[in-house]
Structure 1
Amino acid sequence: MPSLPTTYFDDVYRANEDPWAFETSPYERAKYEATMAALPNDHYKSAFEIGCSIGVLSEMLAQRCGKLLAVDASELPLKTARQRLAAYPQVTISQMSIPNEFPDQPFDLILMSEVGYYLALDDLKQVRQLLIDHLETNGQLLLVHWTPFVHDYPLTGDQVHELFLESTGAGKPLIHLLGQRTDKYRLDLFGKSM
């Protein structure tokens, strides 16, 4: 199954400006709180958020980042994200579709939440390498994904996380710092060792 195209997300956002109820869902609120609690540093100098949507989690991240680049494959939710984050001059919001588009700069925090399973396995492997290459030594990579099967998606959340876990261990570039699982999502925090 190929990676989901940008048009898939455009169609979703044309049908509903907040299709996953990021602003109102108790599930999303609890997941965002767990995401922020999993970050061990009080402050990050340069963070990259992949899949920012309408910017609800981005606003939480912005309060702990010197710079934040928040991107989404679809331009449609970014108008709302830009309005929400207008008071945060350190935040840049851009339309970007990984792995074909990727920023050419290092980050000490990269967050990929609810995005990896939209990618075909080969594309996700390419993204994994890009994330490792752009993560500073001792930087952190946080993955958070829904785990139940969704027939539209090329991968499951567990498959995404297991692929990244393959890059941990002796002689590998990532260290597994934290793993959490609920009945609906899993969270894994990695550090870059070299």
Structure 2
Amino acid sequence: MNENQPNTLPPEYFDQVYQANRDPWGFESSPYEREKYAATLAALPREHYPEAFEIGCSLGVLTAQLARRCGQLLAVDVSEAALAQARQRCARLPHVTVQRMQVPEELTDQQFDLILVSEVGYYWSAADLALAADLLLARLRPGGQLLLVHWTPPVHDYPLTGDDVHEYFLARAGEAGDLRHLAGQQHETYRLDLLEKRA
């Protein structure tokens, strides 16, 4: 955990990043991102998820690909600049809803068959990670799946690392709770873990 940045990064942080660069992480052009998106989709064991929730959709590059596997997809982000691009990208996908939402402070009451937390958990403080986990698991249907995908090297601005996020959820799955770990992958600079809510 980054002791110098204990607080969740605010929406203004992301607004400034997107104002400086419309695609700051190379989501549209990076071979790394393309490979990671392919691994993310390949990790999903079901061909179809009736209702899915993507947190931190950014420009909607992965959203548009994930949409092919979903009956309804709610994709959210805190940055309006990013969401404008996501809405444009998903404009011809009527089953995709793109919305501004700051998790965990704001959260829908809807229930989901799939929740994707990709490259967003390390922006939360440790307290917000714990709160988000509680709230998200409450919105996951029994038998529903939670997919975590995060960059693992430390970033000095971020309160947590990707490993912190995944280890937190895996610890919960290791307890006698309602979550079980289905699969995990360790890549050079990112990791992926799939969990399922016990029926």
- Specify the TM-score bucket, using the shorter chain as the normaliser: over 0.9
- State which drifts further: 31-40 or 169-178: 169-178
CA distance in 2, matches of 1:153, 1:170: 27
Name 1:48's counterpart in structure 2. Answer: 53
Match of 1:6 among 3, 8, 11: 11
For 2:115, what is the secondary structure of its paired residue?
strand
Give 2:156's aligned amino acid.
Answer: H
Q: 2:189 maps to what in 1?
A: 184
Are 2:180 and 1:175 equivalent residues in the alignment? yes
2:63 partner amino acid: S
| Residue-by-residue CA offset, 1:94-131 (whole Å, 9 max, x unaligned) | 00111100011100000000000000000000000011
The root-mean-square deviation of aligned C-alpha atoms, in Å, is 0.8
Q: 1:140-159 to 2 correspondence within 5 Å?
A: 140-159=145-164
Match of 1:86 in 2: 91
TM-score, normalised relative to structure 2: 0.96
SS at 1:191 equivalent: strand
- Structure 1 residue 170, shift from structure 2 partner: 5.5
- What is the aligned counterpart of 2:70 among 40, 65, 70? 65
Question: 1:14 & 1:162 partners in 2: Cα distance?
Answer: 33
SS class of match (1:101): coil
The counterpart of 1:96, out of the listed 91, 95, 101, is 101
Q: Using CA pairs under 8 Å that are at least 6 residues apart, name the structure with larger relative contact order, 1 or 2.
A: 2
Alignment partner of 1:166 is 2:166:
no
Tell me which amino acid in the other structure corresponds to 2:139. H
Question: Where do 5+ consecutive residues of structure 2 fail to align?
Answer: 1-5
CA–CA distance in structure 2, aligned partners of residues 162 and 128 of structure 1: 12
What displacement does 1:166 show? 1.3
Report the alpha carbon displacement of residue 171 of structure 1 after superposing the two structures with TM. 2.4
State the percentage of identical aligned residues. 60
Aligned AA for 2:36? K
- Alignment partner of 1:110: what SS? strand
Counterpart of 1:33? 38
| More displaced 10-residue stretch of structure 1: 162-171 or 132-141 | 162-171
Which of 115, 124, 127 pairs up with 1:110? 115
Residues paired across the two proteins, number: 194
Matched, 1:126 2:134: no
